[in-house]
């Protein structure tokens, strides 16, 4: 989770990213909490332009959760916190019947009535058009000319079934600047054990191919190049091989192949105490404090996936604990689930030119917020809780 602001005055642009999958698995509890804290965040920052990028819209089964998604959108549109935003653009990928196209992404853009003129790019006619009124587009998103949408090719992650991963891209002109906003969801790790076997893991390579694909699309010759912001669920993971060696130095790994894909790491002494258990979807390590204290600074050195793109993607210093996988149990809000190695999955990146753009006087109130509905809406009760 991340939030930062340049300058001291209110206003500017607020970017929020949230994997909202679990909000639709337990809408009675989680969705209400998440929305309340999201509204508080908006009221705190009072942005002129608000962008919310959601992943896993509808949860595990959008078909079964369509009514909850509609309620989520209706709540946002009717909220008091957003009543002064007189122009709205909402793009929802609800086409769950199309395996070739479905991404489960949702992009929400709210423009304050005090922001006089905002233009949005038409990717077909290659021109900016003035934004007026409120529109929600969920049908025929593939032919909507204000959004560029793509699902990643199947071969990018051969060990997965063709999953709901891809990106949305919109382009905006306001405050004397033009920029792209990209909602992105990259591939997850299938198995904790496989991720440990080699460094970097094969899943890291899958994400690298997908992110490079998006960067090439955003910077190709079809449209003029402008600064860009990528914010979404990158699914970046810590280097498990190096992390385990750091957490439990000298521990002896034992493979329990007869019981399936399982690993145990024991002390080397006579007690042979089990220090860590790892399975496909199990990471059982007792000392979670190492991931939480000082915002996880002790393990940040193993967050390496973004380094491959450091010439094309910039990021502010991380000042929040790993955003995934926080417990979804309201009685244990400050604990991680023992399903995956905690990691900074939810991020905001920008191009070098976007970083330079933020130094312009007109953008001194530009704010960036990162949060995750599924990751930590209960833990922090807010998608953006730390302001620098």
CB under 8 Å to 167, separation ≥6 — which residues? 103, 105, 149, 150, 182, 183, 184, 185, 214, 217, 232
Give the pLDDT band (50/70/90) at residue 379. Answer: very low
What pLDDT is recorded for position 150?
95
3-state secondary structure (DSSP) of residue 111: strand
Give the pLDDT band (50/70/90) at residue 383. Answer: very low
Region 86-101 average pLDDT: 92
The helix-helix angle for 32-45 and 62-78 (nearest 10°) equals 40
| Burial of 269 from C-beta contacts in 10 A (0-12 / 13-18 / 19+) | exposed
The domain segmentation of the chain, as residue ranges, is: 13-237+289-387
Of 27-41, 221-235, 361-375, the range with the lowest mean pLDDT is 361-375
- 245: closest CA among 223, 218, 275? 275
Domain 13-237+289-387 sits in CATH 3.60.10.10: yes
pLDDT above 90: percentage of residues in the chain: 62
Give whole-number Cα distances, 277 to 108, 274, 343, in Å: 40, 7, 18
What pLDDT is recorded for position 73?
96
């Amino acid at each position: 989770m991340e939030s930062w602001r340049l300058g001291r005055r209110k206003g500017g642009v607020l970017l929020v990213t949230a994997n909202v999958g679990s909000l639709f698995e337990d809408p009675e509890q989680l969705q209400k909490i998440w929305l309340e804290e999201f509204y508080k965040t908006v009221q705190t920052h009072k942005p002129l332009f608000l962008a919310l990028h959601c992943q896993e819209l509808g949860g595990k089964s959008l078909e079964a959760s369509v009514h909850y998604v509609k309620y989520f959108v209706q709540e946002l549109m009717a909220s008091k916190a957003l009543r002064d935003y007189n122009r709205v653009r909402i793009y929802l990928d609800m086409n769950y019947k199309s395996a070739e196209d479905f991404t489960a992404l949702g992009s929400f853009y709210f423009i304050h009535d005090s922001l006089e003129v905002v233009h949005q790019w038409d990717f077909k006619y290659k021109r900016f058009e003035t934004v007026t009124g409120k529109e929600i587009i969920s049908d025929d998103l593939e032919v909507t000319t204000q959004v560029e949408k793509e699902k990643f090719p199947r071969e990018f992650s051969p060990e997965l079934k063709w999953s709901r991963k891809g990106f949305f891209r919109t382009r905006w002109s306001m405050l004397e600047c033009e920029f792209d906003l990209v909602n992105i969801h990259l591939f997850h790790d299938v198995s904790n054990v496989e991720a440990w076997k080699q460094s970097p893991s094969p899943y890291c390579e899958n994400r690298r191919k997908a992110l490079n694909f998006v960067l090439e699309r955003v910077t190709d010759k079809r449209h003029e190049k402008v600064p860009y912001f990528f914010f979404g669920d990158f699914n970046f993971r810590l280097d498990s091989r190096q992390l385990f060696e750091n957490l439990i130095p000298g521990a002896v790994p034992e493979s329990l192949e007869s019981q399936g894909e399982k690993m145990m790491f024991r002390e080397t002494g006579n007690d042979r105490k089990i220090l860590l258990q790892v399975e496909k979807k199990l990471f059982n390590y007792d000392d979670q404090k190492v991931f939480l204290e000082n915002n996880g600074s002790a393990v940040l050195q193993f967050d390496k996936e973004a380094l491959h793109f450091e010439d094309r993607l910039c990021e502010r210093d991380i000042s929040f604990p790993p955003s995934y996988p926080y417990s979804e149990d309201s009685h244990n809000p400050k604990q991680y689930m023992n399903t995956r190695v905690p990691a900074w999955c939810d991020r905001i990146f920008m191009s070098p030119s976007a970083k330079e753009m933020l130094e312009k006087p007109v953008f001194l109130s530009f704010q960036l917020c990162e949060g995750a509905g599924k990751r930590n809406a209960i833990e922090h009760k807010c998608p953006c809780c730390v302001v620098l």
